Structure 1
Amino acid sequence: MSEAYWPTAVPSRILSSTTAGRQDDRASFQPEIGPAKMRPRSTGRTMQISVTFDRWTAAQLASFEDWYDANQSARFHMRDPITGAPARFQIAAGEEQAYQLAGRQVSMNLVRMPGSPWWGGYVPRCSHVPPLMVADYAGEVFALDTGSLRRVAEEDLVNEADNLVLGAWRPAVGTWAVRFTGAAGDLFPGTLGELPVAGDGRAVVAFDGSATRLYLDGQPVASGAGWVLPAELQVLDGTGTVSEVLLFPEALSDAACIRASQEGAA
């Protein structure tokens, strides 16, 4: 199980009528003597956003309703409909209806939680899916998702001191994103994701049970059958440095893979 996030099969484009405002977190109380006083309930900035999503198909609405059944009380991740930044949300509680339908439009009230997720900088453009694993050797940030994405020690990710062999992380569906410098060799050697690389760059491999898609420096370079990962996955066979490896819990869209292999995350 990974962190909950807005279903990728459901569009998140909004109408211009969407409004947002600071949630009133003040609480009032009446002292024994004197006028009523106000105090903040929290110091975080909580925003309430009234959104209307447009042009959902019947299949997309069905996907959303299935997702809502599983995540209706959970906090989830998506890009802020106003700013576009990765953020944590919750569907507002206490409403008579959790969401409203009007033709192909769906409206709801969202509450944006205070702060920004620490891993937001690893999310590719054109995507809001949080990583399942982070191995940022240059930034010395390492994390695993076992229900929530938490930082861990480097040795929890790798089987060898050279930081190139990853163990235990073999999902049936996902996307690998790799940043390398001074390379001369093959990424993921001996697998369907094998990709010759040279110099500095970024590579992305998206895979599921039916297809594998490879991208290098902003370009799709190959596609093939579904990829079953080996027991141990060697990232780079040859010379050079792997400075970052990210794993996402699903095969990201073509647009997200191109952007991730072109310029990383943002």
Structure 2
Amino acid sequence: MRLKDKVVVVTGGASGIGRAIAILFAKEGARVAIGDVTETVKEGGAPTREVIAAAGGIARFHRCDVSVWADVDALVTATVAEFGRLDVIVNNAATLGQARPLLETTEEDWDQVMAVNAKGVFFGCKRAVQQFLTQPLVGDARGRIVNISSQHGMVCAPGKIAYGTGKAAAAYITKQVAVDYAEQGIICNAVAPGRILTGKPLGGPGSDALEYSHARTPMPRLGRPGDIASAALFLASEEASYITGHNLMVDGGWMAY
């Protein structure tokens, strides 16, 4: 129960990594508000909110497009109105868009991906910090931010220039927010997944294939959503009270290879 009675917002919580984070955080005692454009689970199964409720947890779903400020504002406002405060936001929502190299990437492709992967993280951080600054310190923090970045953004994402650039922005925003608001008791970190097996496609023009991911990862398996959820849980908990501005790689050794 490392998040007992904490209030958490998870964007992109309907499927994949966000779903695993929301379920684990609720299991650890958090009251979870899920922000997503749909409750439909890409991998199949009952909606995340229902899975949490069936296990005895507390969860809410709010339709939220993270590229729209009014949606992000409404998500946090509604959560605080019901539960009284915000302790953690996990900015997980992301899109691959059209996986294309530079010359095949259109302005529309670029804008679509950056609106979610960069602007969405910016909006999530901004709205959370606004709320955190109205709250008293609890232990060492007024609130915690966990952004989901990627190994792509740290190294190139072959054939995915918009995606990699957006994830690089998420990693940079993490450092900036951490430094700018450390004195006010706001902790901001990121988790950088390696190849994680979710409902997102692995193929696409110029992209790295599943076989390449296995060959590139030193550990004998690829990642699971639960691997990222566990890392996010650590960074969201009081166990990580003296860690901020860090981009934690959870990649099976990919970046060490």
TM over 0.5: no
Higher Rg of the two aligned structures: 1
Q: TM-score, normalised to structure 2's length?
A: 0.26
Higher relative strand content: 1
Higher relative helix content: 2
